[in-house]
Amino acid sequence: MTAVPALLVENLSVEFRTRSGTVQALERVSFAVPKGETLAIVGESGSGKSVTAYAVMGILDPAGKITAGRAMLGGLDLLAATADQVAAVRGREIAMIFQNPRTALNPIRTVGSQIADVLIRHANVPRREAPGRAVDLLRDVGITDPARRAKAYPFEMSGGMCQRVMIAIALAAKPSVLIADEPTTGLDVTTQAVIMDLIGDLARDIGMATIFITHDLALAAQRADRIVVMHAGHVIENAPTAELFARPRHPYTAELIAATPDAAASLAELASIPGSLPDLRRIDLPPCRYAERCPRRRVDCDAELPPAPAIPEHVVACRNPLS
């Protein structure tokens, strides 16, 4: 790993105050992604993948509160920065592709003009060149007849096509960090591969660091240099991809890998892992949030674990890991 990561997240804790109690959504989440590399964040639904991304991007739901941590983008701590500082880098230096592209797009403007806006604002493209460049970008993300499509509104496009538009918008300014939250959900397998190749190619060209959030451990294995496994708001393991699959150390990771028989498997469907995520509103959440489902649980598992560092070779948050 290079000395200065493109993005370093350290000890990020987030809670949501709700009427039914405080949700301990993230606790001391740490990871780093170097320039040009892809880091996958995998975990079951509700494990905290999107909240991590939203916190870093400064777009958490108002009920959410960052209670600790930092997110270093180069020299800037995004969590301590002013709104103006964050606005200056968001879209330009760090961009995000969302899980629900349709809701992220402006419904009352054509997709071409939305892309052109980003080019003008964040990529220093002259106003008169922006519409043409927007069409080029639509072509780059695999949209056929891009000149016509540029004039379309989001509601006139399929979900898959909206997703491609989101990708074009996110990549328009060639950011140094891209967070892609389930970027290929809802796309067929062939298009999925095209989009992932596209993101991968651009990442390589411009040395972009990519954080790829997914349920799909098999897809993460194909695309990521390193994998962070989350469970109930904790990072429970973080290792280079080949290493994680060859020698998973956390019992939960081992279960996930065992339950991922082929490329079609998705964590959403992994019924074979016993138990479910604990209710994150509980006031008696155990230090290891996997302990209650863990076949390797010991008495000392109920003691506090030291926080997992952001830049490990292979970190495992477990008192009784597999060797």
Ligand X SMILES: Nc1ncnc2c1ncn2[C@@H]1O[C@H](COP(=O)(O)OP(=O)(O)OP(=O)(O)O)[C@@H](O)[C@H]1O
The reply on whether position 101 binds ligand X by CB under 6 A is no
- Residue 148 beta carbon to ligand X: minimum distance, rounded to whole angstroms: 33
- Residue 298 beta carbon to ligand X: minimum distance, rounded to whole angstroms: 27
CA atoms in the 13 A half-sphere facing the CB of 54: 20
Please enumerate in sequence order all residues whose Cβ is within 8 A of that of 316, keeping only pairs 6 or more positions apart, or say none.
236, 237, 239, 249, 250, 308
The reply on whether position 180 binds ligand X by CB under 6 A is no
Residue 257: which H helix or E strand, with range?
A: helix 251-258
Q: Which is nearer to ligand X, 37 or 181 (CB)?
A: 181
Q: Which residues bind Mg ion (CB under 5 A)?
A: 49-50
The reply on whether position 269 binds ligand X by CB under 6 A is no
- Taking residues 184 to 223 in sequence order and writing x for each that binds ligand X by CB under 6 A, - otherwise, the string is -------------------------------x--------
- Residue 101 beta carbon to ligand X: minimum distance, rounded to whole angstroms: 14
Q: Which is nearer to ligand X, 28 or 49 (CB)?
A: 49
The reply on whether position 249 binds ligand X by CB under 6 A is no
- Residue 213 beta carbon to Mg ion: minimum distance, rounded to whole angstroms: 7
Backbone angles phi, psi at 17, to 5 degrees: -85, 115
> Out of ligand X, Mg ion, none, which partner does residue 66 contact, by CB within 5 to 8 A per kind?
none
212 within 8 A of 40, measured Cβ to Cβ: yes
The reply on whether position 16 binds ligand X by CB under 6 A is yes
Please enumerate in sequence order all residues whose Cβ is within 8 A of that of 235, keeping only pairs 6 or more positions apart, or say none.
29, 30, 31, 228, 229, 308, 315, 317
Backbone angles phi, psi at 157, to 5 degrees: -115, 155
The reply on whether position 47 binds ligand X by CB under 6 A is yes
The reply on whether position 183 binds ligand X by CB under 6 A is no
Among positions 13, 30, 38, 50, the unique one binding ligand X when judged by CB under 6 A: 50
C-beta atoms surrounding 77 within 10 Å: 14
- Residue 146 beta carbon to ligand X: minimum distance, rounded to whole angstroms: 30
The reply on whether position 97 binds ligand X by CB under 6 A is no
d(CA 272, CA 6) in angstroms, rounded, equals 37
Question: Could you say which residues in the range 23-42 bind ligand X, by CB under 6 A?
Answer: 23, 25
C-beta atoms surrounding 108 within 10 Å: 8
Cα–Cα–Cα angle for 155, 161, 163, nearest 5°? 100
The reply on whether position 276 binds ligand X by CB under 6 A is no
Size of the site for ligand X (CB under 6 A): 18
The reply on whether position 280 binds ligand X by CB under 6 A is yes
275 within 8 A of 293, measured Cβ to Cβ: yes
C-beta atoms surrounding 281 within 10 Å: 14
Question: Could you say which residues in the range 54-93 bind ligand X, by CB under 6 A?
Answer: 61, 63-64
d(CA 35, CA 24) in angstroms, rounded, equals 31
The reply on whether position 248 binds ligand X by CB under 6 A is no
The reply on whether position 51 binds ligand X by CB under 6 A is yes
C-alpha pair distances (Å), 80 with each of 27, 66, 68, 155: 18, 10, 10, 37
Contact footprint for ligand X (CB under 6 A): 16, 18, 23, 25, 43, 45-51, 61, 63-64, 99, 215, 280
